[in-house]
Amino acid sequence: MKLAIDETRCKGCNLCTKVCPYKIFREGKRLNRKGVAIPELDRPERCANCRLQKLYGRQLCGVCQLTCPDQAIHWIEEEPYEPHKVAIEY
C-alpha cells in the first residue's frame, strides 16, 4: 500500500505533520499552482499502514487520515511489478 495526499483537497494546514507518530509528514516548502504547500512525505514506507495494512487486513494507525479535515489522505494499492521488454542497442 502507498500513502497518498490528494493535492486537490489538501489545504496545507499541516495537522498531519503534527499527529503522525512516525513523523512521516514534513511541512512542504514549495507552493503548488493553488498556492498551497502540500506536506512532503519522509520515507512513507515506514508508515504502519503502508507496510502492514494489507497483511493484517485492517487499518493499523490512520491517525493522519482521521485528523485531516479535508479527507485528503488515503492509501492506494501499488501496481504489481510488470516486466518490460528491454531492447539493447549496439
Which residues would be at the binding site for ligand SF4 (CB under 6 A)? Answer: 3, 5, 10-16, 19-22, 24, 39, 47-49, 61-64, 68, 70, 72-73
Nearest approach in angstroms of CB 12 to ligand SF4 is: 5
Nearer to ligand SF4, 4 or 82 (CB): 4
Distance CA 2, CA 84 (A): 22
Measured distance CA(64)–CA(74) in Å, rounded: 9
Cα distance between residue 53 and residue 73, in whole Å: 15
Question: C-beta of 31: minimal distance to ligand SF4 in Å?
Answer: 13
